Amino acid sequence: MFVRSLPLLWLCFWSSQSLYRVPLKTFSGKLNWSVLLELSASRRNQSASGHGLSLASDPAGNVNFLNMVDNLEGDAGRGYYLQMVIGTPGQTLNILVDTGSSNFAVASAPHPYISAYFNRDLSSTYRTNGMSVSVRYTQGDWQGELGSDRITIPHGPNGTIVINIAAILTSDDFFLPGIKWQGILGLAYSSLARPDSSVVPFFDSLVKQTGIPDVFSLQMCGEGFSTSTSTEPADGSLIMGGLEPTLYQGSMWYTPILQEWYYQVEVLKLEVGEKNLNLDCREYNSDKAIVDSGTTLLRLPVKVFDAVVEAITQMSILQDSSSGFFSGSKLACWVKGETPWEFFPKISIYLRATNTSQSFRLAIFPQLYIHLVGDIDSTLNCFRFGISSSTNGLVIGATVMEGFYVAFDRTHKQVGFAVSTCAASNGIPVAEITGPFLAEGVAASCAERGQELQEPLMWLVAYTLMALCALVLLIVLALTLAPCKRRRRDREITDESSLVRNRIK
Ligand SMILES: *[C@@H]1O[C@H](CO)[C@@H](O)[C@H](O)[C@H]1NC(C)=O
Ligand SMILES: *[C@@H]1O[C@H](CO)[C@@H](O)[C@H](O)[C@H]1NC(C)=O
Ligand SMILES: *[C@@H]1O[C@H](CO)[C@@H](O)[C@H](O)[C@H]1NC(C)=O
Ligand SMILES: *[C@@H]1O[C@H](CO)[C@@H](O)[C@H](O)[C@H]1NC(C)=O
């Protein structure tokens, strides 16, 4: 089998420049998205969810989780989106679910690549607050105006809430051809909100106004590992207010949220196959490690990425790591009917457990990180590498999340992972969780957050600088009789949005 398949491997010289940038999500050109959408995952056992087994998780009875099951559509490439009804009377729009940013922003003017937008003039409850907001991404940006309005979520908690809305008026490379959403729902913490953290994010408003628990969970089922001919779009679930037991198997393992901005977690170790990469654990968290539904790929700091590619090259039949496959510039193709998965190792990520002297391991199989790419050729199945290098931290993106049901337990400041019921290819699991492991031999902290300030010398330097600044400020104030009117400048986001980090490559 192995030998027979060898000559069948092509490295397609798919020269399209857009493929180089590919992240599926941003691809705008030649691939046929409808074909990709047909390759939906093997699905959750539908029959299991129909019997109200899950209601126990909501003691107050306010939230009907079953109503929220399957409330998402989309895929890792173009993102998962939720239907929301905005304004009075309601305007129904699709909103991308992004745990890597914190603004709720929606198209409020026509754009060639979107089919609908939120028309503020038609909503009697829309209130503008006159502030402008502008978010610039490494690639792409949007500008708009801050306001608020009432929204309801048809497949969400019962009720209408008032939330902050950034009305997108102009944008550049933000809406792309082929996307089916018209706005973005940032589910991270307020410190990432723009123009500043006083703009209360959606989920904080939802919790406050409906009284649901401060927890949400995500199941994303769009992985294209099934070559079924189903025309059903891939789906997923955003459960607001708790966990829906029918969406996962086995135990939920929790890792602490190190800092509440992104969902920042601590990665202790990486393995390719059974081989420990053996890097200093700080490399894995340089300069942060986050869980982000708005990023398509698993993104690894450059040093870690290089080590992973080297290890995979040694274990797979892709002997030449310079071939362009790993850098994302080329696809690897097999004749139809063959799949490459048996030639690639599983990849394991160890996360710090809530008992900090322990860890647990998320393992993803190649079905999750070697992505089938539409119909390139009638005789070939072509695949792209679902891992890329990153200069702004490790990102556990949709590629990994599709293997798991992920709980964002903000109440207890922790993120939970359990094997997702839809993470199976023809009944064979493509993700697993094991633990606990002893975290001995791992530094007490692998994350960089605040470390430099723990040094007494650095404290001294910091305080000295602060004192100096205060002094300068006093002098400036004394010299300036007229009050200094600061212009509100729209801040630029450098790497807050995942959506965008995903677009860079
Ligand atoms: C995409 O694929 C579908 C199904 O094979 C086909 O009907 C459609 O015409 C294709 N669209 C484009 C733009 O190639
Ligand atoms: C899926 O549903 C079928 C039909 O109800 C049932 O027989 C089967 O045990 C279920 N499988 C799982 C894994 O729950
Ligand atoms: C929400 O719940 C209230 C009280 O149970 C009910 O009267 C109302 O019709 C519900 N609304 C929706 C949209 O289900
Ligand atoms: C935490 O893990 C260590 C090592 O396995 C164990 O000895 C200790 O009892 C655990 N602590 C708690 C509170 O479970």
Report the alpha-carbon distance of residue 346 to residue 270 in Å, rounded: 11
Question: Quick check: helix, strand or coil at residue 16?
Answer: coil
- Report the pLDDT value the prediction gives residue 60, as an integer from 0 to 100: 52
- Report the pLDDT value the prediction gives residue 382, as an integer from 0 to 100: 82
- Report the pLDDT value the prediction gives residue 379, as an integer from 0 to 100: 81
Using a 10 angstrom Cβ sphere, with 0-12 exposed, 13-18 middle and 19 or more buried, the burial of residue 104 is buried
Report the alpha-carbon distance of residue 258 to residue 288 in Å, rounded: 10
Report the alpha-carbon distance of residue 292 to residue 433 in Å, rounded: 19
Higher pLDDT among residues 426 and 363, named by residue: 363
Number of H helices, E strands in the chain: 13, 28
Alpha helices in 135-286 (DSSP H): 202-210, 281-284
- The amino acid at residue 258 is L
Q: Tell me the CA–centroid distance for residue 457 and ligand 4, in Å.
A: 34
Using a 10 angstrom Cβ sphere, with 0-12 exposed, 13-18 middle and 19 or more buried, the burial of residue 465 is exposed
- Report the pLDDT value the prediction gives residue 115, as an integer from 0 to 100: 93
- Sheet with 289-291: list strands edge to edge: 289-291, 394-396, 298-301, 387-390
Which CATH architecture does the domain made up of 46-212 adopt? Answer: Beta Barrel (2.40)
Q: Counting every residue, how long is the chain?
A: 505
Q: List the one residue out of 71, 73, 498, 13 whose CA is nearest residue 297.
A: 498
- Report the pLDDT value the prediction gives residue 362, as an integer from 0 to 100: 98
- Report the pLDDT value the prediction gives residue 365, as an integer from 0 to 100: 95
Q: Average pLDDT in the 63-92 region?
A: 90
Q: Which of 74-88, 205-219, 343-357 has the lowest mean pLDDT?
A: 74-88
- Report the pLDDT value the prediction gives residue 134, as an integer from 0 to 100: 84
- Residue with the smallest CA separation from ligand 2 atom 12 is 45
- Residue with the smallest CA separation from ligand 4 atom 7 is 357
Residue 352 pLDDT > 60, yes or no?
A: yes
Ligand closest in space to the Cα of 424: 2
Using a 10 angstrom Cβ sphere, with 0-12 exposed, 13-18 middle and 19 or more buried, the burial of residue 137 is buried
- Report the pLDDT value the prediction gives residue 233, as an integer from 0 to 100: 54
Q: Of ligand 1's atoms, which has the minimum distance to the CA of residue 38?
A: 4
Residue 372 pLDDT > 90, yes or no?
A: no
Q: Which of 22-26, 28-32, 182-186, 371-375 has the lowest mean pLDDT?
A: 22-26
Q: Which helix (H) or strand (E) holds 502?
A: helix 498-504
CB 363 within 8 A of CB 432: yes
Q: Average pLDDT in the 201-225 region?
A: 90
Q: Average pLDDT in the 460-465 region?
A: 66
Residues 241-274 pLDDT 10s: 999 999 999 999 999 999 999 999 999 999 999 9
Domain span(s) for CATH 2.40.70.10 in the chain: 2-42+217-447, 46-212
Higher pLDDT among residues 131 and 55, named by residue: 131
- Residue with the smallest CA separation from ligand 4 atom 3 is 357
Q: State yes or no: is 98 an active-site residue.
A: yes
Model confidence at 426, in pLDDT bands (50, 70, 90)?
confident
Question: Quick check: helix, strand or coil at residue 371?
Answer: strand
Residue 320 pLDDT > 70, yes or no?
A: no
Residue 496 pLDDT > 60, yes or no?
A: no
Residue 102 Ramachandran class (φ > 0 left, ψ -120 to 50 alpha, else beta)? alpha
Residues 438-456 pLDDT 10s: 987 777 889 875 444 344 5
Alpha carbon 53 to chain centroid, angstroms:
29
Q: Average pLDDT in the 412-425 region?
A: 93
- Report the pLDDT value the prediction gives residue 57, as an integer from 0 to 100: 42
Q: Tell me the CA–centroid distance for residue 398 and ligand 2, in Å.
A: 27
HSE (side-chain half, CA atoms, 13 Å) at 402: 36
- CATH fold group of domain 2-42+217-447: Cathepsin D, subunit A; domain 1 (2.40.70)
Integer CA distances (angstroms), 150 to 84, 90, 159, 241, in order: 10, 9, 10, 19
| Average pLDDT score over the chain | 78
Q: Average pLDDT in the 300-326 region?
A: 84
**CB burial readout 329-345, b (16+ within 10 A) else e:** bbbbbbeeebbbbebbb
Q: State yes or no: is 292 an active-site residue.
A: yes
Using a 10 angstrom Cβ sphere, with 0-12 exposed, 13-18 middle and 19 or more buried, the burial of residue 259 is middle
Integer CA distances (angstroms), 152 to 102, 149, 185, in order: 19, 10, 13
Report the alpha-carbon distance of residue 152 to residue 82 in Å, rounded: 11
Q: Which of 18-27, 270-279, 356-365, 408-417 has the lowest mean pLDDT?
A: 18-27
3-state DSSP of 110-124: CCCCCCCCCCHHHCC
- Report the pLDDT value the prediction gives residue 442, as an integer from 0 to 100: 76
- Report the pLDDT value the prediction gives residue 245, as an integer from 0 to 100: 93
Ligand closest in space to the Cα of 35: 1
Q: Tell me the CA–centroid distance for residue 376 and ligand 2, in Å.
A: 36
Q: Of ligand 1's atoms, which has the minimum distance to the CA of residue 33?
A: 1
pLDDT more than 70, % of the chain: 74
Q: Which of 68-82, 184-198, 235-249, 269-283 has the lowest mean pLDDT?
A: 68-82
- The amino acid at residue 399 is T
Active-site residue, selected from the candidate residues 75, 292, 409, 495: 292
Q: Average pLDDT in the 309-318 region?
A: 83
Residue 145 pLDDT > 80, yes or no?
A: yes
Q: Average pLDDT in the 295-305 region?
A: 93
- Report the pLDDT value the prediction gives residue 139, as an integer from 0 to 100: 57
Report the alpha-carbon distance of residue 440 to residue 67 in Å, rounded: 43
Q: Tell me the CA–centroid distance for residue 405 and ligand 3, in Å.
A: 28
Contacts of 481 (CB under 8 A, 6+ apart): none
Residue 435 pLDDT > 80, yes or no?
A: yes
Integer CA distances (angstroms), 300 to 36, 294, 388, in order: 25, 16, 6
- Report the pLDDT value the prediction gives residue 114, as an integer from 0 to 100: 94
